[in-house]
Amino acid sequence: MSLDPPNIVLGVAGGIAAYKSCELLRRFTEGGATVTVVPTASALKFVGAATWAALSGRPVATDVFDDVHEVPHVRLGQRADLVVVAPATADLMARAAMGRADDLLTATLLTARCPVLFAPAMHTEMWLHPATRENVATLRRRGSVVLDPAWGRLTGADTGPGRLPEPEQIYAVAQRLLSRGNLPADLTGRRVLVSAGGTREPVDPVRFLGNRSTGLQGWALATTAAARGAEVVLVAANVELPDPAGAKVIRVETALELRAAVLEAASEADVIVMAAAVADFRPVNPAGAKLKKGDVDPDPIALTRNPDVLAELCARPHPGQVIVGFAAETGDATASVLEHGRAKLARKQCDLLVVNEVGPTKAFGTPDNQAVILGLDSSTTEVPSGPKENLADVIWDLALARLPER
């Protein structure tokens, strides 16, 4: 990848969410990118050109007849390393899908040969309309990444899918696209299911049995999959992170809740990645009231084993489905980390097993990770220490290679 600052075109269509793109622009510029803002005429009714120019430090491109000698409707797309349209309205995506070039933004989209990211925002009825669904499918089929909108409060009292994802999350997907350069969105048309975080098993209304998992690796998997064009379902156990852009997030707490959510979504998934740390045991009879410290000789807490969700998935896979497990291991007197991982792979029979050594300063809660990925086909892939997004990309590469062609 080039060491020069990335050249980004930020397209802004005419929706009330245009104001959020100011924050996205700020993130791009603070990250060192050179950003040219290309608003539609209707977008300028929500945020003026002076605002975009002040935040970007560059002139705002608004019309094909401005600076004609530079042929802006061609040069902007040709020079871009990434084009992001946020918000992308139903009208803008319809015109882009038809190949229209009736303003500077749509002309730029026609000439761009770099990754293109659409972040939709519109009312629920517009997002769910068959015409919009067909336009989104067309854009994705041509290689653009079109995120699913977030669910939440829209204009007025309306609530539902159609809200613009938060700028921080759009920025995260954009960074993944920039890191991949001109590699295709190779998970387009694929459905992936990711579990993340750590389950909590209640002891009483205050206390629980849990683990150190924060969900960062699962979030990296979801964000990276969305950047590569996948339809993402993320089952999140006790994760205190904002929803990744483009992912449907199902929040759970216990192992039994995680199991139910995963099994319900599993049948439609091409790839399942079980990155969550699922508690092996749960209390048989959680107390209905807080256990008091002053109690004399409290009874031991009786435990029962939780279902093995990964083993269940592997025992009844769907045709062509790829299942990836995680093994958070520590070496001991009986075996090394890798030996424990190989034993787990033999028991679970998943297609891939990501083995990583864990500890107070390893894997859990850190931005970096390293792992050895074992394949049921006896393959071994070592992933050196680096950002968790790097490990996520390797996992998706290996899973994709095992999927049947379409």
Give the residue numbers marked as catalytic. Answer: 211
Question: What is the rounded CA–CA span in Å between residue 368 and residue 391?
Answer: 9
Convert 227-261 to b/e letters by CB count within 10 Å (16 or more is b).
bbbbbbbbbbbbbeeebbbbbbbbebbbbebbbbb
Token pair, residue 28, equals 């791009």
Backbone torsion region of residue 200, taken as left when φ is above 0, otherwise alpha when ψ lies between -120 and 50, otherwise beta: beta
- Closest-CA residue to 15 (of 38, 45, 35): 45
Question: What is the rounded CA–CA span in Å between residue 384 and residue 372?
Answer: 9
User: Would you say 64 and 42 are in contact if contact means Cβ atoms under 8 Å apart?
Assistant: no
Q: State the CB neighbour count (10 A cutoff) for residue 126.
A: 15
Question: What is the rounded CA–CA span in Å between residue 28 and residue 209?
Answer: 41
